[in-house]
Amino acid sequence: MPKSTTATRTRTLVNKRAPMRPLSRPTDIYVSGHRAKSSIVPLIKRGLRLLLDDKHPEIYVHGLGAAIPTALSTALAIKERLRDQATVECYTSTTTLYDDILESSDPVSETTEDAAMDSLTDEDTETLVT
């Protein structure tokens, strides 16, 4: 006679936390998600305003994961608009992301997992031409 087994199903819920980042400076431009080419125009305008109108010597364009190509495109477009007045420096790093893992059969049981995600910081520096 076959043995009777009872299978219990548990459903795992994953709550992805927002990436932790340092305090934002006025010269920081954070790019999120994958954007169409036309939607980077506001980011470019903001960068140009910070450099030309607000006279900041440098700005920082930040991208995480899928936003890295858009951050690079934004920084390069700003440099192209300023011609020889700006340089672009690119820095990469790894950012730790945290996810909360919840088991639906036991709501008290909660664990936290961390994962690494590539991040990018572009530094646009305006070189003043005298």
Lowest mean pLDDT among 22-31, 32-41, 86-95, 104-113: 104-113
Quick one: tokens of 68?
A: 């890295």
Does 13 map to a domain?
A: no
Among candidates 18, 29, 26, which has minimal Cα distance to 120?
29
The CATH number of the domain holding residue 109 is: 3.30.110.20
Among candidates 49, 48, 31, which has minimal Cα distance to 40?
31
* pTM across the whole model: 0.67
- Tell whether the model's pLDDT for residue 9 goes beyond 70: no
Does 63 map to a domain?
A: yes
User: So what's the pLDDT on residue 114?
Assistant: 64
Number of compact structural domains in the chain: 1
Does 19 map to a domain?
A: no
Lowest mean pLDDT among 8-12, 37-41, 126-130: 126-130
Q: Containing domain of residue 44, as a range?
A: 24-126
Does 59 map to a domain?
A: yes
Query: DSSP E strands: which ranges in the chain?
Result: 12-16, 28-31, 58-64, 86-103, 110-126
Does 37 map to a domain?
A: yes
Among candidates 82, 60, 81, 80, which has minimal Cα distance to 71?
60
Instruction: Locate all alpha helices (DSSP H) within the chain, ordered by sequence.
Output: 41-48, 68-82
Query: What's the rounded Cα separation, in Å, for the pair 37 and 3?
Result: 61
Does 7 map to a domain?
A: no
Does 12 map to a domain?
A: no
Q: Residue 107, Cα to own-chain centre: how many angstroms?
A: 31
